[in-house]
């Protein structure tokens, strides 16, 4: 399961209720910050999630509304917070701009308070944990060297404790060996194979996050059958020509991608102040019914085989 915490959902400039783009993705003990618009550090504090283990940042592209918050975040780390390492992943073009911002403006010759590593990525898997991976893929957006990210849990065969109990397999290392695919020998000499205590293969949860995008044809494959797709909806179809000019999507085009890619649910973000939320939702739902419009501090749980859940909004600490 992946958990999403939206820290900023506005396009280009903040509004009264929406900050600039930033999303926290959680998976067990891992936490990732996707984009870091101006004011993100305050949003982190207001959401109550703190800075602990928030040491990996994924950047979709180098436009200022997606990276300016890195300066304040690093400044905060220099004064009050202690983390072992800060890793920032992005395209070479985005990292060049981030390097100028952090080393030329914030640090100005000073030593970072922790190892600060800018890690260039392009197309392919760039992060792998025991049970999930993150893959980058190219996105077309107004000349920017842009990326999207696919988070994929590894598939597994679930352990069936009732079968192990019936076979007399004791708790402890023997059960772990079966989960790892090893055949074991019980104290009475019986051989127990993994097939005797494991269920059918089940794929893991897939989550895709796209920042700004001007085209959808090249996104169908990397978004295919994701359990949830997060993507921009900066314009409505009535201003489709302006959307094309600035390399953005309308809510309808985002929904068309969701339908073509056969995703489970669509979460729209990067919203212009010129539109009402209900109009964005109405336009998208005409094409793809299972749509959510993200608000700052919304928290979603994404899990394979289950409906997408908006579990709370951390602006007020209550249910969403």
Which domains does the chain carry? 2-156+202-313 (3.60.15.10), 161-196 (no CATH)
Q: What are phi and psi of 298, to 5 degrees?
A: -65, 145
Could you say which of 65, 145, 296, 298 is catalytic? 65
The answer on pLDDT for 320 being more than 70 is: no
Checking if the pLDDT of 226 tops 50, the result is yes
Q: Residues 6 or more apart from 165 whose CB is under 8 A from it?
A: none
Strand partners, 237: none
Residues in the chain, overall count: 320
Q: Does 65 participate in catalysis according to the annotation?
A: yes
Q: Which residue has the tokens 């085989």?
A: 305
Q: Which residues contact 202 (CB under 8 A, 6 or more apart)?
A: 155, 156, 157, 158, 304, 305
Cβ contact 19:53 at 8 Å = no
**Residue 317 reports pLDDT greater than 70:** no
pLDDT at 319: 37
Residue 79, pLDDT score = 80
Q: What number of helices (H) and strands (E) belong to the chain? A: 10, 17
- List pLDDT tens digits, range 123-165: 999 999 999 999 999 999 987 789 999 999 999 888 999 999 9
Which segments are annotated as binding site for Zn(2+)? 61, 63, 65-66, 141, 212, 270
Which residues, other chains included, contact 238 with Cβ-Cβ below 8 Å and sequence gap of 6+?
none
Instruction: Supply the pLDDT for residue 81.
Output: 65
User: What digits encode the pLDDT tens for the residues 14-61?
Assistant: 999 999 999 999 999 999 999 999 999 999 999 999 898 899 999 999
Which residues make up each annotated binding site?
61, 63, 65-66, 141, 212, 270
């Amino acid at each position: 399961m992946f958990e999403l915490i939206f820290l900023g959902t506005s396009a280009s400039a903040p509004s009264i209720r929406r900050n600039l783009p930033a999303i926290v993705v959680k998976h067990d003990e891992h936490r990732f910050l996707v984009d870091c618009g101006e004011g993100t550090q305050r949003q982190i504090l207001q959401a109550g999630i703190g800075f602990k283990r928030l040491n990996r940042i994924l950047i979709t592209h180098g436009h200022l509304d997606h990276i300016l918050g890195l300066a304040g975040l690093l400044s905060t780390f220099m004064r009050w917070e202690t983390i072992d390492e800060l890793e920032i992943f992005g395209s070479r073009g985005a990292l060049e701009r981030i390097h100028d911002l952090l080393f030329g403006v914030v640090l100005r010759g000073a030593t970072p308070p922790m190892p600060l590593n800018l890690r260039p990525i392009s197309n392919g898997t760039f992060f792998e944990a025991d049970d999930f991976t993150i893959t980058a893929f190219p996105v077309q957006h107004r000349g920017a060297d842009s990326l999207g990210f696919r988070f994929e849990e590894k598939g597994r065969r679930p352990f069936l404790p009732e079968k192990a109990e019936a076979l007399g397999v004791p708790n402890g290392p023997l059960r772990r060996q079966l989960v790892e695919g090893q055949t074991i020998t019980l104290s009475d000499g019986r051989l127990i194979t993994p097939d005797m205590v494991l269920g059918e293969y089940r794929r893991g949860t897939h989550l895709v996050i796209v920042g700004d995008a001007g085209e959808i044809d090249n996104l169908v494959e990397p978004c295919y059958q994701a359990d949830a797709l997060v993507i921009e909806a900066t314009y409505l179809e009535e201003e489709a020509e302006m959307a094309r000019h600035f390399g953005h999507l309308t809510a309808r085009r985002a929904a068309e991608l969701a339908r073509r890619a056969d995703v489970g649910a669509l979460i729209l973000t990067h919203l212009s102040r010129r539109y009402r939320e209900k109009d964005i939702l109405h336009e998208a739902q005409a094409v793809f019914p299972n749509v959510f419009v993200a608000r700052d501090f919304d928290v979603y749980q994404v899990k394979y085989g289950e409906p997408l859940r908006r579990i709370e909004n951390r602006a007020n600490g209550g249910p969403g």
